[in-house]
Amino acid sequence: MSRCSLRPTAVCVVAALSFGVFAQRAQTEPTAPELPSGRHEKKLAIATKYMVAAAHPLAVEAGLKMLQRGGSAIDAAIAVQMVLNLVEPQASGIGGGAFIMHFDVKQKSTVAYNGRETAPMAATPNLFIGYDGKPMRFQDAVVGGRSVGVPGLLRVVEMAHARHGRLPWASLFEPAIALAENGFALSPRLQIHLVNEKILPKDAEARTYFYLPDGTPKPVGAILKNPAFAAVLRRIAKEGPDAFYAGTLAKEMVAAVRGHATNPGSLTEDDLLNYRARSGAPLCASYRSYRVCTVPPPGGGLTVLQILKTLERFDLKAVRPGSTEAVHLFAEAGRLAYADRERYLGDDRFTPIPTAGLTDAAYNRRRSELIRPGISMGRADAGVPENAKVEMADGDTMEFPSTSHISIVDGDGNAVSMTTTIESVFGSKIFVRGFLLNNELTDFSMTPFNNGLTVANAVYPGKQPRSAMSPTLVFDDADRLHLVIGSPGGPLIINYVAKTLVATLDWGMDIQSAISLPNFGSRNGPTEIEKGTSIENLIGSLKSIGHEVRVNDLTSGLHGIMRTSTGWQGGADPRREGIASGK
């Protein structure tokens, strides 16, 4: 069912997205391990006034409803987020955190909001070191209370709504409450995650909600009702986020984390009470005639900017997308930028990050001289930017298909780019009152020291783990908002966002084509290219110039909006279930 058919006035445009088609696939392939071939090509969405692009049609519909009522971009984003929490529970929600880029068209101001989880005050640098003195296995660290950071989502949207909201707070929860009470159809992507999930069914509440009495997941299209979550949302709608950060709900979350049977955590009621969202200046850099603005550390945007600044000296317009040269240059730039990321990035309040040095044009130009046309550098070393305090960090962040990105432009031209997550699929697998708690603390380095040096991304009480999330806004040479973009994808987010920027800004693609373009890049390991796409035919030529090539699913979830001469165009990732739609 397409939302477009329910919305004849919208210049809606979505996808050849049919839940019916999905339903057939998933029912005939119930044990498929992932959704690489869940690819459904999407059509470019066109609108003159406003646009919403997000990971589920019902979430986009909620956002459009707010915009139709005269709501602002942040009003719509909050409504989208609450519906995503319900219909895409594996990816994001009130039990997690988010980074938000906000553009206020009247003030001509851009603000970066940080609702990243923090480590509880009792967390120690050895949080993920086992009894044997060795780092825990990643999955052992994920499941249970140990990995749960203090959720930041509600505090950060509260802060952004107080400054940029137009509609009453409570009204933003109406679509999610109605869907939670009346029910919504279980989607194919959620169902496949349920099929693959081993831990969640052990939780009695989650089992009743997601699974049949015989333990198999409910089928695609089954109507899920979540009255417990509806009640939580009703309280937050009425009382504000304090209903989450204090009182009975806080007590229940703390009890679930501390009382976890096999892997308890240290979260306290004080940790919840003391959580504060952050806001500040975005991190911006020029890229050719554009200004690209994104979230500063501990967000992932700095590394996106480094990739762009490294590529700037190459005439990419003359390089064909999908060619060996395009993948070579992009992957080499990725190697250099990710090497710096491993060395220097973490929570800026705890780690002295040489942000200015790392984004400096001359520094990145010097680094780009390391890129040779006909041969891969293999592995890059971190550079030494100005003011660098050399520390070492481990690259131990894992990729899991979770997280969600929301892009919105409202009727006035204000914009939100918001990447939101509970980290892994179903987070820590702790299900409280119909929602899941994050496992964001596993985004910290497992080990606090390396070769006697402190790791930049080591655990510390009250610290935020490093993130790859890179919600981004691009402005043109007249300083008009040009592009809104972001993606899930764990550490690969940085490459997905940078690819889409190069595809739109250098190769002149529309936003849908840029999103749909096969993913590729390097995280300073092998050169990764997307499985099942046209660029698989580059394996031989890439190997012949020294690239170790790995073919991966590279399941991005890019959602973007770009200015046109008459309004906006929107794009949704064909690898996920989302749509772009506007009016």
Residues interacting with ligand DON, by CB under 6 A?
A: 400-403, 421, 423, 440, 443, 467-469, 488-490, 493
Q: Report the greatest alpha carbon distance in the chain.
A: 63
Least separation, in Å, of the C-beta of 246 and ligand DON? 26
Nearer to ligand DON, 402 or 504 (CB): 402
Nearer to ligand DON, 87 or 377 (CB): 87
Least separation, in Å, of the C-beta of 71 and ligand DON? 27
- Which residues in 337-359 are b (16+ Cβ under 10 Å) and which e? bbbbbbbbbbbbebbebbbebbb
201 beta partners: none
First-to-last C-alpha distance (Å) of the chain:
19
Q: Is 304 helix (H, G, I), strand (E, B) or coil?
A: helix
Least separation, in Å, of the C-beta of 424 and ligand DON? 7
Eight-state DSSP code of residue 375: B
453 beta partners: 450
Least separation, in Å, of the C-beta of 99 and ligand DON? 8
Nearer to ligand DON, 354 or 489 (CB): 489
Eight-state DSSP code of residue 369: T
Nearer to ligand DON, 115 or 448 (CB): 115
User: Is 420 annotated as catalytic?
Assistant: no
Least separation, in Å, of the C-beta of 184 and ligand DON? 22
Nearer to ligand DON, 82 or 441 (CB): 441
Least separation, in Å, of the C-beta of 400 and ligand DON? 5
Nearer to ligand DON, 170 or 398 (CB): 398
Angle at 299 between CA 293 and CA 300, to 5 degrees: 75
Spatial separation of the C-alpha atoms in residues 393 and 341, rounded to whole Å = 9
Spatial separation of the C-alpha atoms in residues 16 and 574, rounded to whole Å = 10
Q: Measuring CA to CA, which residue among 553, 436, 564 is closest to residue 488?
A: 553
Helix (H) or strand (E) holding 515: helix 511-516
User: 208 burial class (0-12, 13-18, 19+ CB within 10 angstroms)?
Assistant: exposed
Spatial separation of the C-alpha atoms in residues 425 and 530, rounded to whole Å = 21
Task: Determine which one of 403, 420, 454, 472 is catalytic.
Answer: 403
Spatial separation of the C-alpha atoms in residues 292 and 506, rounded to whole Å = 13
Give Cα separations from 58 to 180, 435, 577 (angstroms): 12, 18, 11
Q: Which residues are catalytic?
A: 403
